[in-house]
Structure 1
Amino acid sequence: MSTLIAMALFAFVTSISPGPVNIVATSSGANFGFNKTLHHITGATIGFTSILLLLGVGVIEVFHENPEIMNYLSYIGAAFLLYMSYKIAFSPISKVDEENQATPPTILEGLLCQWLNPKAWIVAISGVTVFSPNGENNTSSILLFSVVFFVVCFLSISIWAVMGVTIKKLLSHPEHYKIFNLIMGCILASTVIYLLIY
């Protein structure tokens, strides 16, 4: 029972903290509402859980033997996340630009936000190392950890999306949306730059 609580706390602290996935969820919640943000939430949750499962079945050894993979992942991930920040910052507002309406993030974009996010890989590697030590219960440990993380991750990203929906109530004018989107895009870009530097 104490292991389950520790897993849940680890999952909550790492999932609820600000990061690219949660910034996109907040922006999407504000622009498209909660229901249309569920695609992003689902994709990001599946993306992270699949990383855990892959690492749990042995892919973690590839990272231990080839640490330079994280460098390549950082640059590819930074490029994708900068694209997402541009998409958020300059997303058209339907009230202003009827011909070129923005679209909410897709399941694939949510998945890629995790797969190309170095923070996600670092968190997953740390979690698998701590909660799935080598031994005969390794498979059951990684499955339990993945289920716990799936639930907690989904709920945590949902909280950020709900925050976006709440912010939406304050954005009564199309110009407010433009400013909000620009700020969220800049925050995401700043997060990417921070991840690259540190």
Structure 2
Amino acid sequence: MGVLWMAMGSYALVGAITPGPVNILALRHGASAGRGAALAYVMGASVSYAGVVWLMGLGGQFVLSTPWAMHLARYAGAAYLFHLAWKMASAPVIEMDSLDGGTHGTARSFGLQSCAQGALTQVLNPKAWIVAFSGVSLFVLSQRDALQAQWLFVSVSLLACLMGVGSWALAGRALARWLTPPRRQRGFNRAMGCVLALCVLAMLG
């Protein structure tokens, strides 16, 4: 079981920490949305990915083995991510010193919005479904007690996603002070929007 746990952890962490739409948005949240919103985004994306892994273990392979379902999921996800890329690139300049301030109600609302965005981005991210399916095939379906292995893989995937996506959000936080000048902030937003759009184009290719 120890060897299986280590193999699952290595696979899940590599899948979670490599560049992709979810991590690009985590970087931007960390840099421009404040600590609370960045944490909410990471939590939403991580719990959502754990749900994707669980669904794959229950038979979500149907989505990947049915051409029309895969195409529908792929293009719906691409449309949503392109929308986010445009919003990111055209985002207005904000006062960086006030990111972690504001009223409790405003912070709560922004946190819930960030959590929902993280969850939805993960669900509509084709990479998440493919990585989850591959992991389930490797580490769950071949085990004698598949249900126990599935729970273990879901738990490991949740922890790996918290670490992987969280590291990108932390990197964004490190950039926050550098982004105080409006000119840098505008350039960063446009660059992140372009990178996200390029990630989507690569997935469609």
Partner of 2:101: none
Letter of the aligned partner of 1:184 in structure 2?
Answer: M
Distance apart, 1:67 and its partner CA: 3.2
Which range moves more in the overlay, 46-55 or 133-142?
133-142
1:140 to 148, 170, 173: 148
Q: Is the 8 A contact 1:28 1:164 kept in 2?
A: yes
| 1:82-97 → structure 2 map (5 Å cutoff) | 82-95=82-95
Q: Is the 8 A contact 2:37 2:115 kept in 1?
A: no
Letter of the aligned partner of 1:181 in structure 2?
Answer: N
Q: Distance in 2 between matches of 1:10 and 1:142?
A: 14
Partner of 1:166: 174
Query: What is the DSSP-based 3-state SS (H/G/I as helix, E as strand, rest coil) of the residue aligned with 1:106?
Result: helix
| 1:102-141 → structure 2 map (5 Å cutoff) | 106-133=114-141, 136-141=144-149
Q: Which structure 2 segments of 5+ residues have no match?
A: 97-109
Cα shift readout 1:63-86 (whole Å, capped 9, x = no counterpart):
355133211111000000011111
Q: Is the 8 A contact 2:85 2:192 kept in 1?
A: yes
**Runs of 4+ displaced beyond 2 Å:** none
Cα shift readout 1:49-98 (whole Å, capped 9, x = no counterpart):
101111111222x23551332111110000000111111111112249xx
Alpha-carbon spacing, 1:142–1:151, altered in 2? closer, same or farther (3 Å): same
Letter of the aligned partner of 1:87 in structure 2?
Answer: K
Distance apart, 1:133 and its partner CA: 1.3
Q: Is the 8 A contact 2:95 2:180 kept in 1?
A: no
Q: Distance in 1 between matches of 2:3 and 2:196?
A: 35
Q: Distance in 1 between matches of 2:78 and 2:92?
A: 23
Q: Is the 8 A contact 1:34 1:162 kept in 2?
A: no
Cα shift readout 1:4-43 (whole Å, capped 9, x = no counterpart):
0000000110000000000000011111233221111111
Q: Distance in 1 between matches of 2:162 and 2:95?
A: 30
Q: Is the 8 A contact 2:22 2:122 kept in 1?
A: yes
Q: Which structure 1 segments of 5+ residues have no match?
A: 97-102
Partner of 2:197: 189
Q: Distance in 2 between matches of 1:170 and 1:23?
A: 18
Distance apart, 1:135 and its partner CA: 5.5
Cα shift readout 1:156-190 (whole Å, capped 9, x = no counterpart):
11100010011112223011101100000100011
Q: Is the 8 A contact 2:93 2:182 kept in 1?
A: yes
Partner of 1:19: 20
Alpha-carbon spacing, 1:176–1:63, altered in 2? closer, same or farther (3 Å): same
**What is the aligned residue count?**
191
Structure 2 residue 39 is matched with structure 1 residue 31? no
